[in-house]
Structure 1
Amino acid sequence: MAWYTRKAPPAGRLIPAAALLLLLLHLSAASAIGVNYGTLGDNLPPPAQVANFIKTQTIIDRVKIFDTNPDILRGFANSGIAMTITAANGDIPALTQIGYARQWVATNIAPFYPQTNIIRVLVGNEILHWGDESQVSNLVPAMRTLRDALNQAGYGAIQVSTAHSLGFIENADIPSMCRFRPMYERVLRPLLQFHRETKSPFMVNPYPYFGYSPEKANYCLFKPNRGVYDRGTRKMYTNMFDSLLDAVHIAMRVYGYGELGIVVGETGWASQGDAGLAPGMDNAIAYNGNLLRHVQSTGTPLMPNRRFETYIFALFNENQKPGPLAEKNFGLFWPNFSPVYKIGILRSEQHPKPIAQKIPAPPPFKTGRSPPRSLPKWHFLLFFLP
C-alpha cells in the first residue's frame, strides 16, 4: 500500500467557518506552543526584546534554549514565558556529584528563579547520539543528582529531563514494529523509571523533514493523502509526525512505560537550502503551519486524548550556524522580528485558517552579540536508516 496518501475525510465532518474561528481562538489561548531559541547569529536582537516580542506579538507561551545563557534568563524575567534550559553535555559527569550539582543550581537557577519562569532543566542534548561513553553512562545519575540538588534548594517544581534524537529507535516507519535499539537499553530503562518517579516527560525530536521524498511529500507535510495502515495497531496514519510519536510510544510501552508523557523538543522545516528536495519556502509553510494546527487538536491515533507540548525549531534564522545552507534557515522570524513566512504564529494572524504567505527577507541589522550555540539538524538522517 502507498503509505504517503490518505483517504478523503467522510462527508458531514466539515466545521463551519465561524465555529472554526472560535475553536482556533480557544486553542491558541490554551496552547502549549513553544519555540527553540538558538543564538548562532551575529545580528540577533537583545533577549529582553525577544521576550517582549514573544509575549506581546505571538501565541508562543514557552521557550527552550540550548544552554543557561544568563542574558537570556535575565531578559525573560517577569515575562511569564515558560523556560526550558539545558545543562551542557560536558557537565554531565560532574553533575553526578552532589556538590557540583548544588553549585550548578546556585549559579544557573537561584539568581533567576522564580522571576524567570524556569519550568525544566534538560541534562545535555541528544546524549545518546552525540555523547561520549562517560556522558552516556553518567546521564541518568546526573539527572538524579541534579533533581536532588533542585529539591534541596527548594526548587522541586522544576522538572529534569533530557532531549533525544530518534536515532535510538528502529523500524520507525511502522509504529507497531518500533523498538528501542538494544544498545541503548542500559540507559533507557533507568531513564524511563526516573521519569515515572519524578512525573517528568520524555522529550524527543521528531523531524519528518529528514524522511522527505517526493513520494512521501504529502505524508510529511500533513497534506491530504491516502495514509498508511499499521496492521499491528489497526490504526491509519495520515502524517509522519503522528507515526513517529506513536512509534516512540510503542517502544516505551514495550519497556512498560507507555503512560509517560511525551514532549516534542524540536521539529521544524528549513525554508531555504542547497540542492535538494526537502528545503523550501512552500514546504516550510505547509509543515509548520499544519503542525501548528495539528498539535492543538486531536492527538495521535494511539494517544488520541493527549496534547503534546511542542517546540518548533527555530525562532530565528541564524546566520552563523555551521553546515549546509538549510541549517541557517529553520527560523520562523528574521532578526528584526519580521516573519520569514506567515503560518498563524503571530496574534495578528489569527484567522479561521492561518494565512500562509511568503515574506521577502529584510536587510539585517547588527547588535554585536557573540553567539552561543544550537545544534545542526542534518544528523537526524540516522533514524531513517535500517
Structure 2
Amino acid sequence: MNYMLLFFSCSWVISPISMFTMVVALIIFSTGANASIGVNYGTLANNLPPPRQVAEFLLHSTVINRIRLFDADPQILRAFAHTGIAVTVTVPNHQITHLTNLSFAEQWISDHIQPHFPSTNIIRILVGNEVISTANHLLIRTLVPAMQSLHTALVSASLHRRIQISTPHSLGILSDSTPPSSAKFRQGYDTHVLKPLLSFLRSIASPFVVNPYPFFGYSPDTLDFALFRPNQGLLDHDSKLLYTNMFDAQLDSVYSAMDRLGFSDVEIVVGEIGWPSEGDGGQIGVDVATAAEFNKKVVARVNSGIGTPLMPNRTFETYIFALFNENLKSGPTSERNFGLFRSDLTPIYDIGILRPTVRTSNPENNPRSPGRGSSGKRWCVTKSGAETVALQRNIDYVCGLGLDCRPIIKGGACFFPNTVEAHSAYAMNLFYQTMGKHEFDCDFDKTGDITAINPSIH
C-alpha cells in the first residue's frame, strides 16, 4: 500500500510533521491491527454450513482475515485454499505424547500440512489446547518435547520459516494475578514447564498464546470492569497503574509472570476471547446485547494500538471465540452460545466485522484476492447527492472498526472542513485504501465513487 496516498481529504497542504505522524499511525495499523482480529472456527455442532461456504462468506462478507481451527480437518483446509486467509491448526491433546517421536511428527506434517500448504495459508500449529489446565502430568511433561519434535519436522520439510509452533494456555497457569504487577506462574510449572517453553518460543520466534476470558472472571460487582464500561477501576499499588478493564489486567498479569522468568520480549497472542449471548436462568450479563457490546469493544480495543498499561502501544493478534454456536458442546448453556453467526450465516449480532457492501455471489465480479484490487493511484470519495445520514453511518462504521480516525476528530489535521461529507470521504477512503483498493470497498451502499484524480489538490 502507498501510505502517502491515503490522506487526501484535508484541503490544505499538511505540515511534514503532521503527515509523518499520520503515516506512522497508518503503518502501525497496517502492520498490526489490520491483521490482528481473527475468529475461532469450532465445529462441535450438527447444523453448520459446508466449509467452502464458510470460507467464501468470511472472504467476501467480513473483514476477518484469519481463523483458528481446533484440529487439522482436511475438508476445512481445502476450503480455505487460495483465499489468503491465515489459518492456525491444532494438534489434539491425545496426540501430544506421540509427537515426541520424530518419525510420528514428520508423518503428521506430511499428512496434515504439506498436502495443503502453501495453497492454504497455514501460519501456525498449536500443540494441544490448555494442556497445563488438564492436570494430566504425562501431557504436561511431554508438551515441550512434542513442540520441539514438531518444529524439527518443519525444519526437515523446509517449512519452519513459514509456520510457527506454539500452544495455548488458560489463565489457570497463574497463581496470583491481582494486582497485575505481582502476577506469577504457578509454582512448579513455572520453572519446569513454562520457562523451557518460553525459551523454546523465543528461540524460534513464536508467540506465547493465552486465552483470557473476562466472562469467566467477572462477578455482579465487576461486570462493568469486565465489559469496558465506566467504573472505578483497579489501582495497582505496586506499579501505580490504573486498570479500567479486566482484559488489560489479565494481559498484564501474563506479561508480569513472563517478565519474572526473563521473557518479557516474547510476543503475546490472544488465542480465545469472547462472551456468550445466552446463559442459564438468572445469569447476570449474559444476553445478545451484552455479548455484542463486549466483543465489539474487544475489537476496537485491539485495533486501537493503545496496548495495556504495562505494554503500551502494542497490538495483539486476537481471536474471537467463536464463529458459530456449537450445539453439541457439553456444560452450561453459555458453552453452546459463544457464536457470532447462526448456521445460516446470518449474524446473531454485529460487532463491526461485516463488510458494508452487498455483492453478488459471482467471484469474478467481486474478487478479494490481493492481486485483484484496483491498480494505480485511486481514491474513494463520496458520491454527489449522497444523504448525510448515510455518510454519517459510513463514518461510524469505519471508525468503529478501530481504524485511525483521529485526523477527523476535533483538533486533528483533517478536522476542517468540519462537515459530514468531508469526514465521511476521509473515512471511506481510509477503509478503501486499507482493505486493498477493491472496487466493492468503496461502494458503501452506493454512496461512494472511485476517482483517479487526487481530491486533495482540487
Q: Normalised by the size of structure 1, how large is the TM-score?
A: 0.83
1:121, 1:158 within 8 Å by CA — same for their partners in 2?
A: yes
1:335–1:286: structure 2 CA closer, same or farther, 3 Å change rule?
Answer: same
C-alpha displacement of 1:353: 3.9
Q: For residues 1-80 of structure 1, what are the structure 2 equivalents within 5 Å?
A: 30-80=34-84
SS in 1 for 2:303: coil
What letter matches 2:290 in structure 1? N
| Deviation for aligned residue 1:183 | 2.7
Check whether the contact 2:33–2:303 (CA below 8 A) recurs between aligned residues. no
SS at structure 2 position matched to 1:182: coil
Between the aligned partners of 2:248 and 2:222, the Cα distance in structure 1 is 14
SS in 1 for 2:311: coil
What secondary structure, in the 3-state scheme, does the structure 1 residue paired with 2:60 have?
Answer: helix
Match of residue 302 from structure 2: 295
Give the deviation of 1:30 after TM superposition: 1.7
Aligned equivalents of 1:29, 1:300: Cα separation in 2: 15
Indicate which of 161, 168, 185 corresponds to 1:180: 185
Secondary structure of the equivalent of 1:342?
A: coil
**Runs of at least 5 residues in structure 2 that lack an aligned partner in the other structure:** 1-21, 358-392, 401-458
Q: Which residue of 2 aligns with 1:320?
A: 328
TM-fit CA distance, 1:288: 0.4
Whole-angstrom CA distance in 2 between matches of 1:85 and 1:131: 23
Q: 1-side partners of 2:344 and 2:186: how far apart? A: 43
State the alpha-carbon separation in 2 of the partners of residues 257 and 351 from structure 1.
42
1:254-282, CA deviations, whole angstroms, 9 ceiling, x for partnerless residues? 00001110000000000001021142122
Aligned 1:1-386 pairs, distance under 5 A = 30-130=34-134, 132-156=136-160, 157-185=162-190, 186-275=192-281, 276-297=283-304, 298-348=306-356, 351-354=394-397
The CA deviation at 1:354 is: 5.0
* 1:322 Cα deviation from its structure 2 partner: 1.2
Deviation at 1:197, TM superposition (A): 0.3
Q: What is the alpha-carbon distance in structure 1 between the residues aligned to residue 135 and residue 112 of structure 2?
A: 22
What TM-score do you get using the length of structure 2 for normalisation?
Answer: 0.70
Question: Within 2, Cα distance between the matches of 1:327 and 1:161?
Answer: 25
Q: CA deviation at 1:49?
A: 0.9
1:341 partner letter: Y
Paired with 2:397 and 2:292, the residues of 1 have a C-alpha distance of 10
Contact 2:175 2:187 in 1 (8 A): no
The match for 2:418 is none
Give the whole-Å Cα distance in 2 for the aligned partners of 1:97 and 1:224.
52
* Aligned partner letter, 2:117: Y
Distance 2:292 2:117 in 1: 36
8 Å Cα contact 1:289-1:354 kept in structure 2? no
* SS of equivalent residue, structure 1 residue 326: helix
Give yes or no for contact 2:71–2:91 (8 Å, CA) kept in 1: yes
Q: Distance in 1 between matches of 2:143 and 2:251?
A: 23
Percent of aligned pairs with the same amino acid? 49
| Structure 2 counterpart of 1:202, one-letter code | F
Q: CA deviation at 1:108?
A: 0.5
1:89·1:131 contact (CA, 8 Å) conserved in 2?
no
3-state SS of 2:215 partner: helix
Residues 209 and 278, structure 1, Cα contact 8 Å, conserved in 2: no
Query: What is the number of equivalent residue pairs in this alignment?
Result: 334
Q: CA offset at residue 324 of structure 1? A: 1.4
Structure showing greater Rg: 2
- Which of the pair has the greater relative contact order for Cα pairs under 8 Å at 6+ separation? 1
CA distance in 1, matches of 2:37, 2:97: 32
Conservation of the 8 A alpha-carbon contact between 2:33 and 2:302: no
